[in-house]
């Protein structure tokens, strides 16, 4: 792809960027950092630029009341139009990117508080109530009503390629192609698409005029204001002429789509999609590397200024491969990583895709950043990720362009509505149900089918069968409710703004919620694999094989949270092999559970005609679902967290990272199309120096060579150790290392621990 | 390598050779190149006061107690047939080591893991099984296996058998030694060693005897011979303030090491006092000198002195 090669276009660009102004506008990020940090908290909207929030809200309400008979998608489009064309705006002369609109989340409230509410009290009331209760008692966590409106990525390339005017053209061509055969619904969708894109272009035009109006009063910043005005006339209406315009485009659309009611969880494949714009600028001498880096900093700092470190999973992905399978890594990859290091913020989140051809230099660069404390990186392995997507019906070329949505859930770039977090299922809960004949012991709810009194089970297999019966029941029930919710989607959150960017919504004349995209999936995330595995294996060993304890003894101990039965709890915890240590029995058990789970999920189709896709990870569900899960036979006490990610339960991974890698890579990640992650905690001295960097890179490469899916590293620090002093149980496997010497942290006396913490804080 | 040429019968026999180790550390870094699996041999000929692995010293199996894990269930007391596990009048359990017959029954019933057997007999096969599991890490990092301890060459047959088998499977091998062993032991092992990690504690024969129980003579002799042999050597020096951080010692060490040809690097390790709980757990008197960890500046200064002798020095930075 070549950009802005036309000489005329280049001239036009030069006219905007005089040489004199270049001296004034660059090198300003650090000096304005504090000011920029406050940009979303202390925005001063120009009162003359539009309606006050109250007036704007009234205008929207009046419109909706008068047009209640229109299709929801058209209502939404007009509401959007009103907000972006009438709301107050602001342009910051110290910022490269214009964006501010005083919208008061009117559209989000419309979706979340009104239309979703109507549905959960109406057509999907039963499912919504069941899912709500399921969350309360720790069966599974799903978004309200069972609809995941928050995990999606727009088609960045589709947007950038011809701008929004290009999409409007595409919409009218598609409409014409359908001709007489177009349904009312399709026509309404096309109307809505045209309304929202025209409105978005108009919004950018307002920002441009605002910038021009401000020039006289902001003489020192005139150059930047002129550049902003020029950019906002070009994008998002048309294809960006420069790297800066491409960033302005992306950020503006992020803001508008979020405002419209979706959470944009992937900002796209940065070094693939943005590279042509960057390359063209640098080659033409319009932009230096240093300047490009500064633009990236202004751009990324927006995410951090908004979240202030409470990360919300806005993902930029790098490297990996192109659609044709050729390895992807370029100058922009490394430049962006430099910018990230200098920014030194936890947001946005960066993911690195890895293929067998990814160069060592990139591994080393990322490893170095992680060990310096930039630990929000996720590394993802293209081999199983692509294979898994292909297995679920995606073409290989499409699969290769996947984007991690939010964390590590892949979706095809610009062609998929993935709903990756549609539900998180507690894999330990079905065991609780199986052990109590379908009753949830903490709540007393009859939550599952009756699978018999487990005390009567003569063989372990009977217990395992009961477990799977409970698990299947839960999955089937959830699947049914999600399907119902999907049918209601068009009435809850029509999304013309994002739909038009995703293939084949325009061609089909269908919104995202109507199955317009080429691929439509629903993610079933399995949480607590380790707890399910360790618990089942513990019962197998102590009750059925060794006959050390009777099942009723164990049940009784569990129901009293092991009160007075500490030796039994410790036997269950310490004397039975645990997932995450490379122990064959535990690894085999985990594999049986994971395989069953994934197969069951993959037997479902979702309500939009797409695949249901399995994942194995937890995010915050480890805590929230664990809190409502009773004591488990792996020795975990009631209400404690489930195991994080796909890894070992807290404190039991006594064979270190090699054991973890050995276990986890025994799973088949071509069966987790919706993702998985292993969290690895590393000792700071293990990754120090050249030896340490080499070891770190080796760890990453080994994990991927052995078929691991995604991995996130945390190099622990003094704070981790202070936490370990407070919660020794969670850190039983934490070893500290001092140049060739190692010992369990818990084995040190308090004094020695303090001494060591001082040492770590000191960087030794 | 050489191992492939050993008579078949010898190789088969050597896999059955057993020895005593007390720990295996995986994903170890800084103990030779790349990612390593470190085998800790039990038993050491020296008695360094500052030893931070006191469980490595005795060749015998020992019972180690981890008080912070103990839940005071007294199962150990009940299980001990020799009355070695006892309860004091104020209800605390303690181990009368003089009565302990090391039959491990207490460890068997201690589900809390508060009692631990230190030392286990393993075969070359056992060891290699574990080593092979980590082979993919060696391949991506240029790592391998390190024999440490304790002193591996106190068990020369076993150490050599492990090294030979590692080389037969083309794993990189490193031998971490204190040097206080007969040269013959080195001769046996060296054909299968890619790198020697050699501890230097003090140069003066008398001071060495005073600090470690043995003169430095044999150690320095062996080091000189290793230099002549040609195997690559990394010197390791634990810097203990007031004991071996003086200018005189550093200069003498620098001069001696500088005269050897195959020293690849000298690694300086700062002394630390974190092993107190281990001494306590073994029921041994804590002999670690009450001095602070040397400062970074001090380590750097020593590094500077040594590098003046043409040595490559690795010090914490
Ligand atoms: S058996 Fe273990 S936990 Fe129980 S009293 Fe003895 S040492 Fe303590
Ligand atoms: S090892 Fe045997 S003799 Fe020694 S304390 Fe334990 S039970 Fe008693």
Query: SS in 3 state form for B155-176?
Result: CHHHHHHHHHHHHHCCCEEEEE
| Domain end call among B100, B118, B136 | B118
Three-state secondary-structure class, residue B86: strand
CATH of the domain at B156: 3.20.20.70
Looking at the predicted structure, is the pLDDT value of residue B1 above 70? Answer: no
B179 and B38 both lie in a single domain: yes
**B80-121 residue pLDDT tens:** 999 999 998 888 889 999 999 999 999 999 999 999 999 999
Quote the tokens at residue A209.
């005029």
Q: Is B3 contained in some domain?
A: no
Pick from A261, A196, A188: nearest CA to A511: A188
| Domain end call among B77, B97, B118 | B118
Q: Is some CB atom of chain A closer than 8 A to the CB atom of B294?
A: no
What is the rounded average pLDDT for all residues in chain B?
92
Q: Is B225 contained in some domain?
A: yes
Which ligand 1 atom sits closest to the C-alpha of B79?
A: 1
Q: How far apart are the first and last CA of chain A?
A: 49
What is the pLDDT, as a whole number, of residue B92? 85
B235 and B125 both lie in a single domain: yes
Beta-bridge mates of residue A354:
A381
Q: Is B113 contained in some domain?
A: yes
B286 and B182 both lie in a single domain: yes
**B256-266 residue pLDDT tens:** 999 998 999 99
Residues in contact with ligand 1 (CB, 6 Å cut-off): B 70-76, 93, 109-110, 112, 114-115
Q: Is B276 contained in some domain?
A: yes
Q: Quote the DSSP letter at residue A525.
A: E
Looking at the predicted structure, is the pLDDT value of residue B13 above 70? Answer: no
What is the pLDDT, as a whole number, of residue A2? 38
Q: Is B5 contained in some domain?
A: no
Query: What's the Cα-to-Cα distance from A242 to each of A211, A280, A301, rounded to whole Å?
Result: 19, 8, 20
Find the B51 Cα to ligand 2 centroid distance in Å.
26
**B222-248 residue pLDDT tens:** 999 999 999 999 999 999 999 999 999
Q: Is B46 contained in some domain?
A: yes
CA distance B182 to B169: 28
Q: Which of B140, B236, B270 to mutate to test the interface with A (most CBs of A within 10 A)?
A: B140
Taking the model in full, what pTM does it have?
0.92
B227 and B101 both lie in a single domain: no
B152 and B273 both lie in a single domain: yes
CA distance A562 to chain B (A): 14
Query: What's the Cα-to-Cα distance from A302 to each of A36, A99, A404, rounded to whole Å?
Result: 8, 10, 20
Cβ–Cβ of B27/A582 closer than 8 Å? Answer: no
Q: Is B12 contained in some domain?
A: no
B229 and B108 both lie in a single domain: no
Contacts of A764 in chain B (CB under 8 A): 270, 293, 296, 316
Contacts of B277 in chain A (CB under 8 A): 743, 747-749, 752
> In the structure, what pLDDT confidence band is assigned to residue B311 with cuts at 50, 70 and 90?
very high
User: Kindly report the CA angle at A547 between A546 and A553, in degrees rounded to 5?
Assistant: 135
CA distance A447 to A430: 10
Q: Is some CB atom of chain A closer than 8 A to the CB atom of B119?
A: no
Find the B78 Cα to ligand 1 centroid distance in Å.
10
Please name the residues between 31 and 60 in chain B that touch chain A, using a CB distance below 8 Å: 31, 33-35, 52-53
B185 and B137 both lie in a single domain: yes
CATH of the domain at B99: 3.30.70.20
B206 and B270 both lie in a single domain: yes
CA distance B71 to A482: 48
B141 and B108 both lie in a single domain: no
B49 and B138 both lie in a single domain: yes
**B121-157 residue pLDDT tens:** 999 999 999 999 999 999 999 999 999 989 999 999 9
B103 and B131 both lie in a single domain: no
Cβ–Cβ of A759/B137 closer than 8 Å? Answer: no
Strand ranges (E), A591-686: 612-616, 678-682
A354 neighbors A319 (Cβ within 8 angstroms): yes
Q: Is B8 contained in some domain?
A: no
CA distance B9 to chain A (A): 32
| Domain end call among B71, B91, B118 | B118
Domain housing B78: 62-118
What is the tally of structural domains in chain B?
Answer: 2
What is the pLDDT, as a whole number, of residue A296? 98
* pLDDT < 50 regions, chain A: 1-23, 764
What is the pLDDT, as a whole number, of residue B222? 98
What is the pLDDT, as a whole number, of residue A740? 59
What is the pLDDT, as a whole number, of residue A721? 86
B168 and B283 both lie in a single domain: yes
What is the pLDDT, as a whole number, of residue B3? 41
What is the pLDDT, as a whole number, of residue A761? 62
Q: Which of B64, B111, B295 to mutate to test the interface with A (most CBs of A within 10 A)?
A: B111
């Amino acid at each position: 792809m070549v950009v802005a090669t036309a000489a005329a276009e280049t001239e036009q660009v030069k006219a905007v960027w005089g040489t004199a102004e270049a001296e004034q506008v660059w090198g300003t990020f650090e000096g304005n950092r504090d000011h920029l940090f406050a940009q979303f908290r202390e925005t001063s909207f120009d009162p003359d630029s539009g309606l006050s929030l109250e007036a704007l809200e009234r205008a929207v309400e009046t419109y909706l009341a008068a047009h209640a008979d229109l299709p929801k998608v058209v209502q939404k489009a007009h509401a959007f139009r009103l907000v972006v064309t009438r709301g107050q705006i602001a342009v910051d002369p110290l910022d490269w990117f214009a964006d501010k609109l005083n919208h008061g989340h009117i559209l989000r409230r419309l979706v979340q508080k009104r239309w979703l509410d109507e549905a959960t009290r109406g057509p999907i009331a039963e499912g919504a109530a069941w899912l709500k209760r399921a969350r309360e008692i720790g069966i599974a966590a799903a978004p309200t009503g069972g609809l995941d409106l928050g995990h999606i990525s727009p088609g960045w390339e589709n947007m950038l390629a011809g701008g929004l005017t290009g999409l409007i053209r595409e919409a009218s061509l598609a409409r014409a192609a359908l001709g007489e055969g177009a349904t009312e619904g399709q026509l309404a969708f096309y109307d809505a698409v045209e309304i929202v894109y025209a409105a978005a272009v108009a919004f950018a035009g307002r920002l441009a005029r605002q910038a021009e109006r401000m020039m006289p009063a902001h003489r020192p910043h005139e150059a930047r204001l002129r550049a902003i005005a020029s950019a906002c006339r070009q994008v998002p209406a048309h294809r960006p002429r420069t790297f800066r315009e491409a960033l302005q485009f992306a950020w503006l659309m992020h803001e508008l789509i979020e405002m419209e009611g979706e959470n944009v969880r992937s900002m796209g494949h940065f070094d693939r999609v943005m590279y042509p714009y960057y390359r063209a600028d640098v080659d033409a001498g319009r932009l230096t590397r240093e300047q490009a880096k500064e633009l990236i900093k202004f751009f990324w700092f927006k995410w951090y200024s908004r979240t202030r470190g409470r990360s919300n999973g806005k993902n930029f992905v790098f490297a990996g491969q192109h659609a044709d399978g050729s390895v992807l890594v370029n100058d922009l990859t490394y430049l962006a990583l430099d910018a990230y290091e200098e920014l030194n913020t936890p947001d946005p989140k960066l993911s690195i895709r890895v293929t067998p051809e990814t160069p060592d230099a990139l591994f080393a660069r990322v490893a170095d950043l992680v060990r310096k404390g930039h630990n929000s990186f996720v590394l993802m392995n293209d081999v199983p990720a692509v294979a898994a997507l292909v297995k679920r019906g995606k073409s290989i070329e499409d699969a290769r362009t996947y984007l991690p949505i939010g964390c590590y859930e892949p979706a095809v770039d610009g062609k998929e509505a993935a709903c990756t977090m549609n539900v998180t299922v507690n894999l330990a809960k079905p065991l609780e149900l199986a052990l109590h004949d379908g009753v949830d012991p903490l709540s007393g709810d009859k939550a599952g089918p009756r699978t018999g009194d487990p005390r009567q089970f003569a063989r372990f297999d009977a217990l395992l069968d009961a477990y799977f019966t409970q698990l299947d029941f839960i999955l089937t029930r959830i699947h049914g409710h999600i399907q119902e919710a999907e049918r209601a989607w068009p009435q809850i959150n029509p999304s013309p703004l994002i739909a038009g960017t995703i293939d084949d919504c325009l061609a089909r004349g269908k919104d995202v919620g109507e199955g317009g995209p080429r691929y439509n999936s629903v993610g079933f995330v399995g949480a607590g694999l380790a707890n399910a595995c360790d618990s089942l294996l513990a019962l197998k060993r102590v009750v059925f094989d060794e006959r050390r304890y009777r099942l009723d003894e164990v049940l009784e101990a569990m129901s009293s949270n092991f009160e007075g039965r500490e030796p039994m709890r410790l036997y269950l915890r310490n004397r039975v092999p645990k997932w995450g240590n490379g122990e064959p029995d535990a690894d085999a058990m985990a594999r049986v559970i994971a395989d069953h789970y994934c197969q069951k999920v993959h037997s479902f189709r979702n309500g939009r005609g797409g695949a249901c896709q399995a994942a194995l990870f937890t995010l915050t569900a480890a805590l929230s679902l664990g809190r409502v899960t009773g004591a488990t036979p792996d020795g975990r006490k009631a209400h404690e967290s489930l195991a994080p990610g796909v890894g070992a339960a807290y404190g039991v991974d006594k064979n270190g990272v090699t054991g973890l890698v050995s276990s986890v890579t025994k799973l088949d990640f071509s069966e987790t199309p919706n993702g998985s992650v292993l969290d690895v905690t590393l000792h700071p001295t293990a990754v120090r120096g050249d030896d340490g960097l080499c070891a770190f890179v080796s760890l990453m490469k080994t994990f991927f060579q052995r078929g691991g899916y995604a991995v996130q590293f945390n190099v622990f620090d003094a704070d981790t150790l202070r936490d370990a002093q407070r919660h020794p149980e969670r850190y039983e496997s934490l070893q500290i290392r001092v140049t060739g010497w190692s010992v369990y942290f818990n084995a040190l006396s308090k004094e020695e621990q303090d001494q060591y913490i001082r040492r770590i804080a000191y960087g030794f | 390598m050489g191992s492939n040429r050993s008579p078949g019968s010898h190789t088969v026999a050597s896999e059955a050779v057993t020895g005593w180790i007390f720990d295996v550390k995986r994903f170890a870094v800084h103990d030779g190149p790349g990612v390593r699996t470190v085998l800790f041999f039990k038993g050491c000929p020296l008695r360094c006061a500052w030893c931070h692995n006191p469980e490595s010293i005795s060749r015998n199996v020992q019972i180690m107690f981890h008080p912070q894990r103990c839940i005071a269930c007294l199962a150990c007391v009940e299980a001990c047939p020799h009355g070695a596990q006892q309860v004091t009048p104020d209800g605390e359990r303690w181990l009368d080591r003089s009565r302990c017959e090391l039959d491990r029954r207490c460890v068997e019933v201690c589900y809390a893991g508060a009692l631990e057997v230190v030392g286990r007999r393993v075969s070359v096969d056992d060891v290699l099984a574990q080593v092979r599991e980590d082979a993919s890490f060696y391949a991506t990092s240029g790592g391998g296996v390190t024999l440490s301890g304790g002193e591996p060459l106190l068990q020369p047959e076993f150490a050599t058998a492990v090294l030979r088998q590692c080389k037969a499977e083309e794993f990189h091998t490193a031998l971490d030694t204190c040097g206080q062993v007969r040269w013959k032991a080195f001769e046996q092992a060296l054909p299968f060693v890619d790198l020697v990690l050699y501890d230097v504690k003090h140069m003066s024969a008398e001071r060495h005897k005073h600090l470690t129980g043995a003169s430095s003579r044999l150690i320095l002799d062996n080091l000189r011979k290793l230099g002549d042999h040609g195997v690559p050597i990394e010197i390791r020096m634990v810097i203990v303030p007031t004991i071996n951080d003086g200018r005189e010692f550093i200069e003498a060490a620098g001069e001696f090491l500088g005269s050897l040809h195959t020293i690849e690097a000298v690694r300086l390790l700062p002394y630390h006092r974190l092993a107190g709980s281990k001494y306590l757990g073994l029921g041994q008197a804590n002999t670690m000198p009450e001095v602070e960890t040397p400062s970074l500046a001090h380590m750097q200064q020593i590094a500077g002195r040594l590098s003046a002798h043409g040595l490559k020095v690795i010090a914490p930075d």
